[in-house]
Amino acid sequence: MTDTIGGHAKSGSEGDKTMVRVWDPLIRIFHWSLVVFFAIAWLTADELQPVHEIAGYAVAGLIAFRLAWGVIGSRYARFAQFMRGPAATFSYLGDMARGREHRYLGHNPAGAAMIVALLVTLSGTAFTGWLMEEPGRAVALSDLPQIVASAFADEESYEAGYSERQPEGSLKEIHETLANVLLVLVALHIGGVVLASFRHHENLARAMVTGTKRSAGPEDIS
Ligand code: HEM
Ligand code: HEM
């Protein structure tokens, strides 16, 4: 068995089929670190607050990396390679329902939409967590226009109003709701991975570990 670097073919472990490199090492490390820190954040919520917050910040850092890597990363990591509009996504879902969707070497349009939903909801969860952690942050955010105005106003009366308001209760609800939405999204994400794996006779979770997939056939989209 020869090795695969940068898309060169090798005879892979799935019979004689040619394998190609799809997911670069950083995407794979990103994915499995995200799974680990997301799980830690969930398991420690309301139990072990310092660990919860560190895990939440780790998730935020991973997302920041992923956003940059989506622009400058390897071919299949780039948003431009896999992001599709709503029409293409719904047409792909329609094909799925009829059991005739194409196999994609990178992310398929439904998977791509799920990635956007996961990244946006994870960011919102980490951001509301960060806002909650320091009481003044949310007030300062909602007051941004007034903060500018207050530079010209009576400082004492502004600060009195500032300390009276307590947005933490509703923030906590938003934070928890987003965390629950994430659970649903993750369940759908794993369901999608399992379904696509069966449909196209390949283990997508293993591909996220090894980085390689069966090369594109004539009907596939690479
Ligand atoms: C054990 C559970 C999980 C498995 C087996 C799994 C598997 C996968 C697979 C196979 C892909 C690539 C999909 C494709 O081929 O198009 C993927 C992508 C992705 N997964 Fe998961 N996943 C799991 C849990 C999670 C969790 C918990 C999260 C987030 C909270 C997550 C977030 C993502 C993201 C953001 C991507 C996009 C990867 C990228 O291009 O950066 N996954 N996952
Ligand atoms: C994506 C990452 C995160 C997830 C999945 C998550 C999840 C959760 C969940 C499920 C709860 C509800 C616990 C309960 O009361 O039952 C919670 C509470 C909380 N989280 Fe997060 N969180 C994340 C990130 C963060 C971050 C970055 C911070 C702050 C730096 C944070 C701070 C808090 C605080 C202060 C609470 C309230 C604890 C309490 O007093 O009950 N979270 N989080």
Q: What is the pLDDT of residues 47-88, one digit of tens each?
A: 999 999 999 999 999 999 999 999 999 999 999 999 999 999
Q: What is the pLDDT of residues 166-216, one digit of tens each?
A: 556 789 999 999 999 999 999 999 999 999 999 999 999 999 999 999 999
pLDDT score for 6: 40
**Mutation test of ligand 2: which of 35, 36, 46 has the most ligand atoms closer than 8 Å to its C-beta?**
46
Pairing of strands 212-214, 18-21: antiparallel
Spatial neighbors of 34 by CB under 8 A, at least 6 apart, are 59, 62, 122
At residue 218, does pLDDT exceed 70?
A: yes
Residue 112 Cα to ligand 1 midpoint, Å, equals: 11
pLDDT score for 184: 98
Residue 213 Cα to ligand 2 midpoint, Å, equals: 36
Q: Which amino acid is at 201?
A: H
Q: What is the dihedral of CA 79, 26, 119, 125, to 10 degrees?
A: -160
pLDDT score for 117: 98
Residue 205 Cα to ligand 1 midpoint, Å, equals: 8
Q: What is the pLDDT of residues 149-168, one digit of tens each?
A: 666 665 554 454 444 455 56
Please provide the average confidence, as pLDDT, over all residues in the chain: 87
* Contact in structure between 69 and 26 (CB atoms under 8 Å): yes
pLDDT band at 17 (very low <50, low <70, confident <90, very high): confident
Smallest-distance ligand from the CA of 186: 1
Q: Which residue has the higher pLDDT, 10 or 121?
A: 121
- 3 state SS of 14: coil
pLDDT score for 164: 47
Using a 10 angstrom Cβ sphere, with 0-12 exposed, 13-18 middle and 19 or more buried, the burial of residue 88 is middle
Q: Which of 121-135, 141-155, 174-188 has the lowest mean pLDDT?
A: 141-155
Ligand 2 neighbours by CB, cut-off 6 Å = 38, 41-42, 45-46, 52-53, 56-57, 59, 122, 125-126, 129-130, 132-133, 172, 175-176, 179, 182
DSSP-assigned states of every residue in 127-168: HHHHHHHSTHHHHHHHTHHHHHHHTTS-HHHHHHHHHH--TH
